[in-house]
Amino acid sequence: MTYANLTDADLRDAFLTDAVLTGAFLTDANLTGAYLTRADLTNADLYGADLTDADLTDAVLTGAFVSKSTTKGVDFNDWIARGGRVMD
């Protein structure tokens, strides 16, 4: 799903392991509890997304953008180490 527009998508508890979401627009998407293990989120736009308890283990986050998002339970050490950017 390269450059897919998933704005406002309800992806609660979705199994997106190994998904290719390069450059995807996930603005305001509900990713609560989603399994994004090893997902490729390179340059993804997660502005306003709800990432509560999402599993981002080994996800590729180079250039990913998170701002105004709900991130309770997200391990930011792994996120930042893999290229993610968290903004207020």
Q: What is the pLDDT of residue 26?
A: 96
- The residue written with tokens 């399994």 in the block is 35
Total structural domains in the chain?
A: 1
Give the structural domain span for 19. 1-88
As a whole number of angstroms, the distance between CA 48 and CA 22 comes to 18
| C-beta of residue 71 within 8 angstroms of C-beta of residue 52 | yes
- Per-residue pLDDT at 70 exceeds 60: yes
- Per-residue pLDDT at 17 exceeds 90: yes
Predicted TM-score of the model (pTM): 0.85
| C-beta of residue 61 within 8 angstroms of C-beta of residue 76 | no
Closest by CA to 21, choosing from 38, 37, 41, is: 41
Region 3-31: what's the mean pLDDT?
Answer: 95
Handedness of CA 40, 44, 49, 52 (dihedral sign): positive
Give the CATH number of the domain where residue 9 resides: 2.160.20.80
